[in-house]
């Protein structure tokens, strides 16, 4: 399977050959020299997944050892043990540097472990001294202790951990009834969409942000926006739209997506696409407000708009993915279109699907739909920009 760089190189080689600028010998030399760059630097997904699993089990096991022998281990020994293990994780993360391709992912795992073990230390002190405080205070302390690592320990695991800590902190603040940022209700899309964007935007300002997080935030946003629009289009309401104090977090997240999309959202989405994808899905909810009324024409427009917006956003994502030669966005976009068509089909005709004939018709429609969508998807992937 050719990488994106290889496809770009192929196009340029073709142009240079046609113009007589490239001899076969030179082309061969260029290809040989580029082979090293073509080797993917990232560890395979399975290796990373197993590494995270192994690291998680190691952390959990260490915590359980302390818990199971709580009374047998003196206070000072527990704390000293935590410090020694933390020093060990940091040393391993530093020693197994990114220079060695075979061990770089191990370095990332140990950096991840050191970040996680920091939370273990906070929990340890809290439990030894029976400290009662808002749980989210522990998360912010965790952030304060991990944040310096973003400058001092150059590993992608650190900004990834910071992203996770920020997201956890925001969610817990929204859930805490004593917090100024408490959300009266989470039964609406604002927080689900805004908080990851806010966390992603903040992490992007770190010296070595993990760029893959932008793809994660983008995928989450697209998925949640699609699901919310489909749900809204079927049920015609969200149960409670009141955000309370959490509106600050939600608005900050949306502003980050609109004002600095190049920091928040995937690089495959150009700035205009990013802004449209962030802004357009919320229009139906804004029109409806907190209550849906079938007699209100604006609310009816909002429901119809939700159907249209869901398709429009999916097409935008497909177009952006095709332009950037990023198959994942093309695939996700077509998946969203398929989900939208199926939802509309069952929404309109669901009541009439009784009996064998109706099921046969539905099956034929479904198969035809799958064939058409798959054909379009393959066409988009093969044609690239021309298809978009």
Q: Does 133 bind other proteins (CB under 8 A)?
A: yes
Alpha helices, H only, the chain = 4-18, 24-38, 45-68, 75-95, 104-128, 135-146, 149-152, 157-175, 189-203, 212-235, 247-259, 261-264, 271-279, 283-288, 297-323, 327-349, 356-383
Binding segment (CB under 8 A) for other proteins, from list 70-78, 303-311, 325-333, 339-347: 70-78
Shortest distance in whole angstroms from residue 134 CB to other proteins: 10
Q: Assess 118 for contact with other proteins (CB under 8 A).
A: yes
Asked if 350 touches other proteins (CB under 8 A), the answer is no
Residue 125 in contact with other proteins, rule: CB under 8 A: yes
67 binds other proteins (CB under 8 A): yes
CB of 90 to other proteins, least distance (A): 5
- What is the CB-side half-sphere exposure of residue 54 using CA atoms within 13 A? 11
User: How many residues bind other proteins, per CB under 8 A?
Assistant: 33
Which of 60, 70, 272, 385 binds other proteins (CB under 8 A)? It is 70
Binding status of residue 68 toward other proteins by CB under 8 A: yes
In the complex with other proteins, the residue whose CB is nearer, 152 or 298, is 152
32 binds other proteins (CB under 8 A): no
CB of 45 to other proteins, least distance (A): 28
Query: Computed from CA positions of residues 373, 378, 381, 387, in that sequence, does the dihedral angle turn out positive or negative?
Result: negative
- Counting beta carbons within 10 angstroms of the beta carbon of residue 255, is it exposed (0 to 12), middle (13 to 18) or buried (19 or more)? middle
The yes or no reply on residue 157 touching other proteins (CB under 8 A) is no
**Which member of 9, 50, 62, 94 binds other proteins (CB under 8 A)?**
94
- Asked if residue 177 binds other proteins (CB under 8 A), the reply is no
Tell me the C-alpha distance between 249 and 173, whole Å: 10
> Rounded CA gap, 115 and 227, in Å?
33
The residues, ordered by sequence, that sit 6+ positions from 170 with a Cβ below 8 Å of its Cβ are 181, 195, 198, 199, 249
Instruction: Note the residues at the interface with other proteins (CB under 8 A).
Output: 67-68, 70-71, 74-75, 79, 82-83, 86-87, 90-91, 93-94, 118, 121-122, 125-133, 145, 148-149, 151-153
């Amino acid at each position: 399977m050719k990488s994106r760089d290889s496809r770009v190189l192929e196009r340029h080689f073709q142009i240079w050959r046609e113009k007589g600028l490239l001899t076969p010998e030179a082309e061969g030399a260029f290809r040989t020299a580029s082979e090293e760059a073509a080797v993917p630097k990232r560890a395979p997904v399975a290796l990373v997944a197993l590494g995270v699993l192994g690291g998680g089990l190691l952390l959990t096991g260490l915590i359980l050892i302390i818990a199971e022998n709580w009374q047998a281990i003196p206070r000072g020994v527990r704390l000293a043990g935590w410090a020694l293990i933390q020093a060990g994780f940091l040393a391993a993360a530093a020693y197994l540097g990114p220079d060695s391709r075979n061990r770089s992912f191990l370095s990332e795992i140990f950096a991840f472990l050191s970040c996680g073990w920091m939370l273990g230390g906070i929990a340890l002190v809290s439990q030894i001294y029976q400290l009662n405080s808002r749980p989210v205070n522990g998360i912010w302390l965790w952030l304060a202790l991990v944040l310096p690592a973003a400058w001092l320990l150059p590993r992608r695991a650190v900004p990834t951990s910071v992203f996770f800590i920020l997201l956890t902190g925001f969610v817990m603040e929204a859930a805490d009834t004593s917090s100024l940022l408490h959300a009266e209700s989470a039964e609406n899309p604002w927080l689900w969409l805004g908080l990851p964007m806010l966390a992603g935007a903040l992490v992007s300002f770190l010296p070595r942000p993990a760029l893959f997080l932008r793809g994660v935030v983008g995928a989450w946003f697209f998925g949640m926006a699609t699901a919310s629009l489909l749900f809204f289009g079927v049920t015609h309401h969200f149960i409670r739209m009141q955000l309370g104090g959490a509106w600050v977090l939600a608005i900050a997240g949306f502003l980050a997506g609109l004002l600095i999309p190049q920091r928040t959202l995937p690089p495959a989405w150009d700035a205009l696409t990013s802004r449209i994808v962030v802004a357009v899905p919320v229009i139906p909810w804004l029109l409806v407000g907190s209550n849906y009324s079938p007699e209100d024409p604006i609310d009816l427009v909002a429901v119809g708009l939700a159907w249209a917006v869901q398709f429009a956003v999916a097409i935008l994502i497909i177009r952006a993915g095709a332009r950037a030669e990023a198959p994942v966005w093309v695939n996700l976009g077509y998946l969203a279109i398929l989900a939208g068509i199926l939802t509309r089909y069952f929404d309109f005709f669901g009541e009439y699907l009784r009996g064998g004939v109706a099921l046969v018709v539905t099956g034929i429609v479904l198969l035809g739909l799958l064939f058409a969508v798959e054909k379009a998807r393959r066409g988009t992937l093969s044609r690239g920009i021309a298809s978009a």
